[in-house]
C-alpha cells in the first residue's frame, strides 16, 4: 500500500498520516497531493480524516500559529485578516481561458505560470493540511467531492465547520474538485486567485475566507460552469421554507450584504448563501452545498436578528473575523447595539476610539465586512430537510437588490422568461463591502453573480431559460427591494420583509390577488393592509402603500435601457432576452 505513495509526498508524511491516506487507495488523490507538495514544499502534511482528534488538532494549530485567538468563551475564537485583505479581491481573481465579457479572464498558460511561480516554495517550514468534503448531502447522488489543500489551519478549521466531511467517499476514485491555497508571505501585490475551469483553483497571499476557503465562492465558479454545461443551476441563493397551509420552499438571490442572510432567518433555514437546483422528474429541487454560515456580522443585533444573535452567544463553536477584540476576551462589532468600547485590538492592530489610518481616515472598531463562521446546526430555525438527498421542491424564486431609487418592494413576474430576464438578469445593486473598493455605488449584478460568473452571460441565460422550459411545474419569480427611499429616507422598516414574504406565500397558494402593472404583478392595498395587521399587528396606511408601490416608470425605463444595452453588446445572448427588454421598454 505504501508503495502507492510517491517519493516527495511520502517524505513529508508521518506513519499515522500514511495510514490515513492508505485507507483511500486513491491514485488521483495521491498524485495531486504529490504535485502540490513538490510545488509548495511544506515541511509536513496532515490528513484531516475528520475524526474528533483531527478536528481538535486543526483548532489547536490555528491557535498555536496565531491565526486564531481563543476568546473568553472557550468555544469561540477570533481571526484577523491583513488590513488590505478584508474582502473578496475582484482585481486579483481570474478565470483561466479565453476572454468573456464581464468576466475577469487571463490566458490559461499565463495565469498558471504566474500563480505557480508564486506558489513555488510558499509553504516552506509549514504544515500542509488536506481536507475532504462534499458539496451537498453525502447521501445524495448529486453530491460533488472536493479536496482543500492549505497551509492555513484557519482555512481548514473554517471548512470543517462550513462543509460536510466526506473522507470516506474518496475510496471510489470519483472525480473531485481541487483547491490549493497558501498564505505565502501575505504580500498583497502578489495576491492571486486563478480559477482553472478544468477543476482546480489556486489561491495565494490572502487569508480572507472569500478568497481562501476554496469551497465557498471559488467552487461556485467551477460548479456554475459545470451546471451550465449539464443543464442545471448553481446559484448565489439562500433556500428558505415559508409557512403557509404547508411549508413552501423558495430560493432568494441577493448580492452580499443586501438582506440574504436576514431573509433566511425569517423562515425555516436550508441555506443562507448557495443553492444547487436541479430538475428532478420535472420539479425544480434545491439543496445547500454548504453546512455552515459565513455571515456578515455588521448590524447583527438582538432585536432584528434574534436567531443569529443567539448562535453568536451560545456555547457552540464560532469563529469571529475582523471584529474588535476587547481586553476581557469578548468581542464587539458595530451595529450590535452595545456601547462602543474605548479600546481593543482589531484588524489594524491596537485600536482606540478616534484612531485614524495613515491617510487620516478613521479606523472603525470592526470592519464593515467583519464576519462570523458557524455551523448550520447551531441555528434553531434549521430545517432538517437540508440533509434530504433529493433536496426540497422550489415554488418561488426571489431576485433581491439594494436599490434606493427604482424597484418596488415586491413584485411578481408575468412568466419564467419575464422574471429571469427583467428581474434576475437585470439586477443592479448598490456595491457591497464584501468586495474590496468603494461601496454603495450602483453596479450591474445579474443574479447576484457578477463576481462569480465563469461563463458568458449569454450561455448562462440560455441555460436558465431552457431549464424553465423543461420543468413541468414552474416556480413563481419575484423581485424584492428592501431599500427604496424618497427625499425623507427609507420607505420600509426592516420588519416589513416579513409581510412581503407572506404575500409570496399567499401568491403561491393562490390566495392573494394582484394588480397587473407594466413591470409585473404588485400586491393590492387591501391584501397588504390585512397582511400588515396579521403579521406585524400594524396598521398600513394608504399613503405608505402609494409611496412604496407607485411605479417609478422613468427610472424603470432607464434601468431596462441600460441593461438592454449591456446584453445587446454580448454576442451569444439569446434573442428572447432582447425581445423581452424591447417589449418591457415600449
Ligand atoms: O466573501 S464571500 O464571497 O465569501 C461571502 C459573500 O460575500 O457572500
Ligand atoms: Mn454570498
| Residuewise pLDDT in 10s, the chain (586 residues) | 456 777 899 999 999 999 999 999 999 999 999 999 999 999 999 999 999 999 999 999 999 999 999 999 999 999 999 999 999 999 999 999 999 999 999 999 999 999 999 999 999 999 999 999 999 999 999 999 999 999 999 999 999 999 999 999 999 888 999 999 999 999 999 999 999 999 999 999 999 999 999 999 999 999 999 999 999 999 999 999 999 999 999 999 999 888 899 999 999 999 999 999 999 999 999 999 999 999 999 999 999 999 999 999 999 999 999 999 999 999 999 999 999 999 999 999 999 999 999 999 999 999 999 999 999 999 999 999 999 999 999 999 999 999 999 999 999 999 999 999 999 999 999 887 778 777 777 899 999 999 999 999 999 999 999 999 999 999 999 999 999 999 999 999 999 999 999 999 999 999 999 999 999 999 999 999 999 999 999 999 999 999 999 999 999 999 999 999 999 999 999 999 999 999 999 8
Nearest ligand 1 atom to alpha carbon 216: 4
The protein residue whose alpha carbon is closest to atom 4 in ligand 1 is 210
Spatial distance between the Cα atoms of 455 and 518, rounded to a whole number of angstroms: 31
State the helix-helix crossing angle for 52-64 and 153-162, rounded to 10 degrees. Answer: 140
Residues with CB under 6 A from ligand 1: 88, 209-210, 216-217, 256, 273, 294, 434
Ligand 2 center–CA 24 separation, angstroms: 33
Q: How are beta strands 349-352 and 343-346 bridged, if at all?
A: antiparallel
Q: What is the pLDDT of residue 2?
A: 53
Ligand 2 center–CA 173 separation, angstroms: 31
Cβ(119)–Cβ(111) under 8 Å? Answer: no
Q: What is the pLDDT of residue 259?
A: 86
Q: Per the annotation, does 429 bind a ligand? A: no
SS (H, E, C) 31-50: HHHHHHHHHHCCCEEEEECC
Q: Per the annotation, does 217 bind a ligand? A: yes
Spatial distance between the Cα atoms of 111 and 118, rounded to a whole number of angstroms: 11
Nearest ligand 1 atom to alpha carbon 217: 3
Q: Spell out the residues 6+ positions from residue 105 whose beta carbon is closer than 8 angstroms to its own.
A: 94, 95, 96, 97, 98, 99
Ligand 2 center–CA 63 separation, angstroms: 27
CATH topology of domain 295-377: Phosphoenolpyruvate Carboxykinase; domain 2 (2.170.8)
- The domain spans of the chain are 2-69+86-230, 233-292+383-585, 295-377
Nearest ligand 1 atom to alpha carbon 209: 4
Closest ligand to C-alpha of residue 432 is 1
Name the burial class of residue 7, with classes exposed (0-12), middle (13-18) and buried (19+) by CB atoms within 10 angstroms of its CB: exposed
Cβ(283)–Cβ(471) under 8 Å? Answer: yes
Cβ(30)–Cβ(6) under 8 Å? Answer: yes
Closest ligand to C-alpha of residue 451 is 1
Closest ligand to C-alpha of residue 237 is 2
Q: Per the annotation, does 273 bind a ligand? A: yes
Q: What is the pLDDT of residue 45?
A: 98
Q: Per the annotation, does 419 bind a ligand? A: no
Q: Which of 206, 273, 430, 453 to mutate to test the pocket of ligand 1 (most atoms within 8 A of CB)?
A: 273
Cβ(357)–Cβ(245) under 8 Å? Answer: no
Spatial distance between the Cα atoms of 344 and 354, rounded to a whole number of angstroms: 12
CATH fold match for the domains 2-69+86-230 and 295-377: no
Cβ(200)–Cβ(112) under 8 Å? Answer: no
CATH code for residues 233-292+383-585: 3.90.228.20
Q: What is the pLDDT of residue 473?
A: 97
> Among all residues, which ones are annotated catalytic?
258
Q: How far apart are the first and last CA of the chain?
A: 70
Closest ligand to C-alpha of residue 373 is 1
The protein residue whose alpha carbon is closest to atom 3 in ligand 1 is 210
Closest CA to 411 of 267, 543, 549: 549
Q: Which of 216, 373, 445 to mutate to test the pocket of ligand 1 (most atoms within 8 A of CB)?
A: 216
Give the distance between the most distant pair of CA atoms in the chain: 78
Residue carrying the nine cell digits 490572502: 206
CATH code for residues 2-69+86-230: 3.40.449.10
Cβ(551)–Cβ(517) under 8 Å? Answer: yes
The protein residue whose alpha carbon is closest to atom 8 in ligand 1 is 256
Q: Which long-range contacts (CB under 8 A, 24 or more apart) does 138-141 make?
A: 138/164, 138/166, 138/169, 139/387, 139/389, 140/287, 140/389, 140/390, 140/391, 141/389
Instruction: Kindly report the pTM of this predicted structure.
Output: 0.97
* Cβ neighbours, 10 Å, residue 291: 22
Helices (H) and strands (E) in the chain, counts: 17, 33
Element (H, E) at 421: none
DSSP assignment of 236-299 equals S-EEEEEESSSEEEEEEE--TTSSHHHHHTTSEEEESS-EEEEEETTEEEEE-S-SEEEEE-TT
Ligand 2 center–CA 62 separation, angstroms: 24
Nearest ligand 1 atom to alpha carbon 87: 1
So what's the ipTM on this one? 0.96
Q: Per the annotation, does 231 bind a ligand? A: no
Closest CA to 550 of 411, 395, 391: 411
Torsion sign (Cα): 441, 443, 449, 451: negative
- Residue 363, CA distances (Å) to 268, 348, 355 in order: 37, 8, 6
Q: Per the annotation, does 257 bind a ligand? A: yes
Closest CA to 498 of 542, 528, 468, 465: 528
Cell representation of residue 360: 487620516
Ligand 1 center–CA 256 separation, angstroms: 6
Q: Per the annotation, does 210 bind a ligand? A: yes
Q: What is the pLDDT of residue 332?
A: 98
Ligand 2 center–CA 453 separation, angstroms: 13
Element (H, E) at 115: helix 108-119
Nearest ligand 1 atom to alpha carbon 88: 1
Cβ(497)–Cβ(263) under 8 Å? Answer: yes
Ligand 1 center–CA 371 separation, angstroms: 10
> What is the SS3 assignment for 96?
strand
Q: What is the pLDDT of residue 132?
A: 98
The protein residue whose alpha carbon is closest to atom 6 in ligand 1 is 256
Can you say how many angstroms the Cα of residue 109 is from the centroid of all Cα atoms in its chain? 29
Amino acid at each position: 500500500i505504501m508503495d502507492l505513495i510517491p517519493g516527495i509526498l511520502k517524505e513529508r508524511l508521518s506513519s499515522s498520516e500514511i495510514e490515513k491516506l492508505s485507507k483511500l487507495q486513491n491514485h488521483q488523490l495521491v498524485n495531486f497531493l504529490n504535485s502540490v507538495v513538490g510545488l509548495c514544499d511544506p515541511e509536513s502534511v496532515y490528513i484531516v480524516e475528520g475524526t474528533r482528534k483531527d478536528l481538535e488538532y486543526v483548532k489547536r494549530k490555528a491557535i498555536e500559529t496565531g491565526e486564531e485567538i481563543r476568546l473568553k468563551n472557550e468555544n469561540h475564537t477570533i481571526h484577523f485578516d491583513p488590513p488590505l485583505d478584508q474582502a473578496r479581491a475582484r482585481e486579483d481573481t481570474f478565470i483561466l481561458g479565453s476572454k468573456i465579457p464581464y468576466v475577469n479572464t487571463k490566458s490559461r498558460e499565463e495565469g498558471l505560470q504566474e500563480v505557480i511561480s508564486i506558489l513555488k516554495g510558499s509553504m516552506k517550514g509549514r504544515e500542509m493540511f488536506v481536507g475532504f468534503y462534499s458539496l451537498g448531502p453525502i447521501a445524495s447522488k448529486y453530491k460533488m467531492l472536493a479536496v482543500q489543500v492549505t497551509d492555513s489551519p484557519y482555512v481548514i478549521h473554517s471548512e470543517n465547520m462550513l462543509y460536510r466531511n466526506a473522507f470516506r467517499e474518496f475510496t471510489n476514485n470519483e472525480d473531485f474538485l481541487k483547491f490549493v491555497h497558501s498564505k505565502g508571505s501575505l504580500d498583497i501585490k502578489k495576491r492571486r486567485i486563478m480559477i482553472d475551469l478544468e477543476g482546480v483553483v489556486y489561491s495565494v497571499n490572502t487569508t480572507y475566507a472569500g478568497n481562501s476557503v476554496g469551497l465557498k465562492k471559488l467552487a461556485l465558479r467551477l460548479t456554475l460552469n459545470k451546471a451550465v454545461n449539464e443543464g442545471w443551476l448553481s446559484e448565489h441563493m439562500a433556500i428558505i421554507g415559508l409557512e403557509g397551509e404547508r411549508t413552501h420552499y423558495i430560493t432568494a438571490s441577493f448580492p452580499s450584504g443586501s438582506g440574504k442572510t436576514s431573509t433566511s432567518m425569517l423562515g425555516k433555514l436550508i441555506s443562507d448563501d448557495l443553492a444547487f437546483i436541479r430538475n428532478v422528474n420535472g420539479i425544480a429541487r434545491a439543496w445547500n452545498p454548504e453546512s455552515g454560515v459565513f455571515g456578515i456580522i455588521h448590524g447583527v443585533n438582538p432585536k432584528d436578528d434574534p436567531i443569529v444573535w443567539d448562535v453568536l452567544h451560545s456555547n457552540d463553536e464560532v469563529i469571529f473575523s475582523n471584529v474588535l477584540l476587547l481586553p476581557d476576551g469578548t468581542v464587539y462589532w458595530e451595529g450590535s447595539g452595545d456601547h462602543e468600547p474605548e479600546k481593543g485590538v482589531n484588524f489594524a492592530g491596537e485600536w482606540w476610539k478616534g484612531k485614524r489610518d495613515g491617510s487620516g481616515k478613521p479606523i472603525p472598531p470592526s470592519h464593515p465586512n467583519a464576519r462570523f463562521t458557524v455551523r448550520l446546526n447551531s441555528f434553531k430555525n434549521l430545517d432538517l430537510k437540508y440533509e434530504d438527498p433529493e433536496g426540497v421542491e422550489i415554488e418561488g424564486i426571489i431576485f433581491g437588490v439594494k436599490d434606493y431609487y427604482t424597484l418596488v418592494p415586491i413584485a411578481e413576474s408575468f412568466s419564467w422568461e419575464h422574471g429571469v430576464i427583467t428581474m434576475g438578469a437585470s439586477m443592479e445593486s448598490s456595491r457591497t463591502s464584501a468586495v474590496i473598493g468603494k461601496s454603495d455605488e450602483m453596479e450591474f449584478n445579474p443574479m447576484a453573480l457578477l463576481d462569480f460568473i465563469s461563463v458568458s452571460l449569454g450561455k448562462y441565460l440560455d441555460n436558465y431559460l431552457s431549464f424553465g422550459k423543461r420543468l413541468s411545474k414552474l416556480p413563481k419569480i419575484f423581485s424584492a427591494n428592501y431599500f427604496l427611499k424618497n427625499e425623507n429616507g427609507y420607505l420600509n422598516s426592516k420588519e416589513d420583509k416579513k409581510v412581503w414574504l407572506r404575500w409570496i406565500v399567499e401568491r403561491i397558494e393562490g390566495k392573494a390577488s394582484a394588480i397587473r402593472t407594466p413591470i409585473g404583478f404588485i400586491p393590492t392595498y387591501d391584501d397588504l393592509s390585512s397582511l400588515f395587521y396579521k403579521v406585524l399587528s400594524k396598521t398600513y396606511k394608504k399613503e405608505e402603500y402609494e409611496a412604496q408601490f407607485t411605479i417609478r416608470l422613468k427610472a424603470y425605463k432607464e434601468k431596462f435601457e441600460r441593461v438592454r444595452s449591456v446584453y445587446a453588446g454580448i454576442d451569444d445572448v439569446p434573442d428572447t432576452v432582447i425581445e423581452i427588454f424591447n417589449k418591457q421598454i415600449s
